[in-house]
Amino acid sequence: MSENSVLSCEKKSGDILDHEVSLEEVDQEDKRNTNVERSLKSRHMSMIALGGTIGTGLFISTSVPLNEAGPVNSLIAYIFIASVVYSVAQSLGEMATYIPIAGSFTVFTSRFISPSLGAASGWLYWFCWAIGFAIELSIIGQIIEYWTSAVPNAAWIAIFFVLLTVANLFPVKYYGEIEFWISSIKVITIMGWILYALIMVCGGGKYGAFGFRYWKNPGPWGDGILVDNKNTGRFLGWFSSLINAIFSYQGTELVGVLAGECENPRKTVPSAIKKVFYRIVIFFILSIFFMGLLVPYNDPKLNSDSSYIASSPFVIAIQNSGTPVLPGIMNAVILTTIISAGNSDIYIASRTLYALANDNLAPRIFTLTINGIPYYSVLFSSLWGLLGYLSLSAKGLVGFNWLVNISATSGLFAWVFISFSHIRFIKGLKLKGIDRSEELPFVASGMPIYAWYSVAVITFLIFFQGYAVFVGSFSVADFFAAYISNIFFVILFVFFQFVWFKNTKLLIPLEEMDLKTGIMPFSNLKNTNSDKQKIEKLWNIIA
């Protein structure tokens, strides 16, 4: 049966569809609602989400948990947060395959929980990625200084602002292809580094076998946060690693943003969810493990501020192993990573803004597209990248750091609402008599218990991620800097709940939940054996 063959759903009491629906009809309906093109293939989906997560959080920021918590505590923290990531990915996969629309999980929050919560979390998520673009632009020049400082950072910000903005105005298939190859470079680099680290640990370097020497001296547990009680300090160091792990894993939800623009979401999204989770966990956990074997937690270079990449555990491990050429190559890869991240920042921010506008939560002009590209959403989102210039002055840097704090913690809100939306989604389906195992293309495992688990963990972290403010002398300025995203979210929620949606209920009744708009019905389509599909299958195995 061809891909455009008729998909049928039997009419039952409480069924969402009571007539036959063709994939062409579904796609036409989706175009009327979203007006974006379904051009992303499975290999694009997997690698974009994978590449969007593997960035500075892994290459640079892992120096903090290694320094504060030590090799074992940081490893435990990353494994623990991986269990939360799995739950969030499963929840998103089930909803996004059933209702594959652009900016899906922000829409799910509005439909399944509350319009005001959906609006608040959606705008916060958009701001996270829009400011992320400014952050990446401010970093590019610092990395290039490794080779030359002839061009000022201000010029690099302008150059890459224009290049990346223009790149996002091309059809999404080009974005997918570019990100596929850039992400491939990241993946190959990490695989190569892990192999290199294994060789060094086993004695392939000029300093002999590293083994577990650094787990013995200075030890497996870091000094932690410096407080009077050493055990308390180590616990706080481990807790700090949890926060860093969450920030590093952010981006695994990108499959939900991409769902509205992939060719066959019923097949592509579940496949991408599984691939991305397992590869990210393997790459992150193996990287953390080998970092702890090659870099002692008290290595002074972990706190270096001589250059942006000087504190990268990847680079320090190479330096400690005595390989002279690789640090420069690693720097080039990190530069590629930052450019890729900036490209993704615009894409994700523009699609999130586009989804908000489609739900009448942003000006309607942001729904307008040309050749499937939401031009106005792209241009407006990219403009925020110019805030990167704030980082060039001492006075502007204070405000810029506040914006960075908002960006850093906004992903927590996205995760908690993905999980809670799924809990409500399951209840809504049950109320309408819809069997998840029979009528959904992808069924998440361990639900809803697993979703409640992630809601509990993430909610706790949202409230206590700024714990360092309460250690030692309390500072109002530090408190606001740590919790500005929480404050920003509350302001947005109050505005939408009591001003914008003043006549709506705080929680949507289950019987009023919209489980119809944008649905992609389940079917038992058979694949044809065309050469094109064989090539795609090969790519799916590789990517």
pLDDT at 376: 93
pLDDT at 103: 63
Q: What is the pTM of this model?
A: 0.83
107 in Cβ contact with 279 (< 8 Å): no
Q: Exposed, middle or buried: residue 449 (CB in 10 Å: 0-12, 13-18, 19+)?
A: exposed
pLDDT at 120: 93
Q: What is the end-to-end Cα distance of the chain in Å, rounded?
A: 27
Report how far residue 203's alpha carbon sits from residue 368's, in angstroms, rounded to the nearest whole number. 59
Reported confidence tier of residue 430, pLDDT bands at 50, 70, 90: very high
Q: What is the mean pLDDT of residues 456-470?
A: 88
pLDDT at 22: 40
Q: Is the pLDDT of residue 528 over 60?
A: no
pLDDT at 65: 86
3-state secondary structure of 540: helix
Of 542 and 209, which is predicted with more confidence?
A: 209
3-state secondary structure of 22: strand
Report how far residue 145's alpha carbon sits from residue 164's, in angstroms, rounded to the nearest whole number. 20
Of 145 and 44, which is predicted with more confidence?
A: 145
pLDDT at 308: 67
- In DSSP terms, which residues pair with 199 in a beta bridge? none
Q: What is the mean pLDDT of residues 379-383?
A: 96
Beta carbons within 10 angstroms of residue 53's beta carbon:
26
Percent of the chain with pLDDT strictly greater than 90: 22
Q: What is the mean pLDDT of residues 241-245?
A: 85
Q: What is the mean pLDDT of residues 312-335?
A: 84
3-state secondary structure of 15: coil
Beta carbons within 10 angstroms of residue 254's beta carbon:
24
Q: What is the mean pLDDT of residues 268-286?
A: 77
- One-letter identity of residue 476: V
Q: What is the mean pLDDT of residues 123-146?
A: 88
pLDDT at 395: 67
Measured CA angle at 474 (ends 471, 475), to 5 deg: 130
Q: What is the mean pLDDT of residues 442-470?
A: 90
Q: Which of 131-135, 177-181, 404-408 has the lowest mean pLDDT?
A: 404-408
Q: Is the pLDDT of residue 525 over 50?
A: no
Of 161 and 274, which is predicted with more confidence?
A: 161
Q: At what angle do helices 394-431 and 104-112 cross, to 10 degrees?
A: 60
57 in Cβ contact with 249 (< 8 Å): yes
Q: Is the pLDDT of residue 529 over 50?
A: no
pLDDT at 452: 97
pLDDT digits (tens, 9 = 90+) for 56-114: 778 888 888 888 888 999 999 999 999 998 899 889 888 988 888 766 678 899 899 99
Of 412 and 478, which is predicted with more confidence?
A: 412
Architecture of domain 41-119+182-324+388-542: Up-down Bundle (1.20)
pLDDT at 492: 94
DSSP one-letter string for 179-211: HHHHHHHHHHHHHHHHHHHHHHHTT-STT---T
Q: What is the mean pLDDT of residues 509-537?
A: 62
- One-letter identity of residue 346: I
Task: Give the E-state strand segments of 313-449 in sequence order.
Answer: none
pLDDT at 392: 84
Tokens of 334: 């990190």
Cis peptide upstream of residue 509 (ω within 30 degrees of 0) = no
275 in Cβ contact with 46 (< 8 Å): yes
pLDDT at 506: 86
Percent of the chain with pLDDT strictly greater than 70: 83
pLDDT at 378: 95
pLDDT digits (tens, 9 = 90+) for 3-60: 333 333 333 333 333 333 343 443 444 444 446 666 677 777 777 777 667 777 788 8
Q: Which of 53-57, 153-157, 367-371, 482-486 has the lowest mean pLDDT?
A: 53-57
Reported confidence tier of residue 494, pLDDT bands at 50, 70, 90: very high
Of 472 and 167, which is predicted with more confidence?
A: 167
- Mean per-residue pLDDT of the chain: 80
